Amino acid sequence: DTEVTQTPKHLVMGMTNKKSLKCEQHMGHRAMYWYKQKAKKPPELMFVYSYEKLSINESVPSRFSPECPNSSLLNLHLHALQPEDSALYLCASSQGAPDRVSEGYTFGSGTRLTVV
Amino acid sequence: GNSVTQMEGPVTLSEEAFLTINCTYTATGYPSLFWYVQYPGEGLQLLLKATKADDKGSNKGFEATYRKETTSFHLEKGSVQVSDSAVYFCALSSIYNQGGKLIFGQGTELSVKP
């Protein structure tokens, strides 16, 4: 299995809603990532989990809350989002450092989020 | 700091034309270099990679050579197809930058017309 699976593919939520994005990989990768991407722009790193511990938080607002229940799963909990948070949210996984330097990351297809 | 610069798009070509997308980088040490492709409505896919100087990555007719002397990793394809229409991202990863954090260029949109 060489895929990163994200659900749901599309999500529309109101500014008072609570929702969660899910990501799963079965490649034995020990690092998992959340990215935010606006149309035709490069992905922006949000969070990094390494060996199931949060290792990088790129100053993301607290309305985004990541969770890594185990080495295969990554969640992103959403609460009180703003319309400007509408974007494609990508999950990725990789080997731990230093192997990820040469191997790169595997990305999922993303969740397209619309906040209304 | 580490950075990647790509030629600006959009690039519009006719089918069977030759493609070059320029990519240059600034990095500490000896980074690995990648090209990712994003088709409309999809996530990023790794297209090819090179991990040391003079390596050539290749996949699906695309090629790129790691040129340390010019700090470049230009993407080329001899004959593009309509199905190659996508956004292409050049990226680097270096152990000296947050343990291999992936650094992306701005992306180049390619549109291939029949």
Q: Going residue by residue through chain A (116 aa), what tens digit of pLDDT does each one get? A: 669 999 999 999 999 999 999 999 999 999 999 999 999 899 999 999 999 999 999 999 999 999 999 999 999 999 999 999 999 999 999 987 777 778 889 999 999 999 99
Give the residue from A36, A41, A108 showing the smallest Cα distance to B105.
A41
Name, in order, each residue with C-beta under 8 angstroms of B19's C-beta and a sequence gap of 6 or more: B11, B13, B75, B76, B77, B80, B84, B110
What b/e sequence results for A81-103 when a residue is b if at least 16 CB atoms lie within 10 Å of its CB, and e otherwise?
beeebbbbbbbbbbbebeebbbb
Q: Residue B100 is nearest to which of A4, A98, A108, comparing CB atoms?
A: A98
What b/e sequence results for A21-45 when a residue is b if at least 16 CB atoms lie within 10 Å of its CB, and e otherwise?
bbbbbeeebbbbbbbbbeeeebbeb
Is the minimum CB–CB distance between B3 and chain A shorter than 8 Å? no
Q: Which residues 5-64 of A have a C-beta within 8 angstroms of B?
A: 6, 40-43, 45, 48, 56
Do A106 and A28 contact (CB within 8 A), yes or no?
Answer: no
Is the minimum CB–CB distance between A66 and chain B shorter than 8 Å? no
Cα–Cα separations (whole angstroms), residue A25 to A46, A72, B6, B44: 18, 5, 30, 15
Report pLDDT for B37: 97
Q: Which residues of chain B have pLDDT under 50?
A: none
Q: Are residues B46 and A105, on separate chains, in Cβ contact within 8 Å?
A: yes
Burial class (CB in 10 A: 0-12, 13-18, 19+), B113: exposed
How far is it, in rounded angstroms, from Cα A59 to Cα A57?
6
Is the minimum CB–CB distance between B6 and chain A shorter than 8 Å? no
How far is it, in rounded angstroms, from Cα B73 to Cα A63?
38
Most B-contacting residue of A34, A102, A111, A113 (CB-CB within 10 A), to test interface:
A102
Q: Are residues B99 and A98, on separate chains, in Cβ contact within 8 Å?
A: yes
Q: Residue A43 is nearest to which of B31, B100, B104, comparing CB atoms?
A: B104
Is the minimum CB–CB distance between B57 and chain A shorter than 8 Å? no
Give the total residue count for chain A.
Answer: 116
Name, in order, each residue with C-beta under 8 angstroms of A51's C-beta and a sequence gap of 6 or more: A30, A31, A71, A96
**SS3 track for A21-86:** EEEEECCCCCEEEEEEECCCCCCEEEEEEECCEEEEECCCCCCEEEEEEECCEEEEEEECCCHHHC
Most B-contacting residue of A44, A45, A99, A101 (CB-CB within 10 A), to test interface:
A101
Q: Look up residue B107 and give its two tokens.
A: 């992306």
Is the minimum CB–CB distance between A3 and chain B shorter than 8 Å? no
Q: Look up residue B19 and give its two tokens.
A: 């493609």
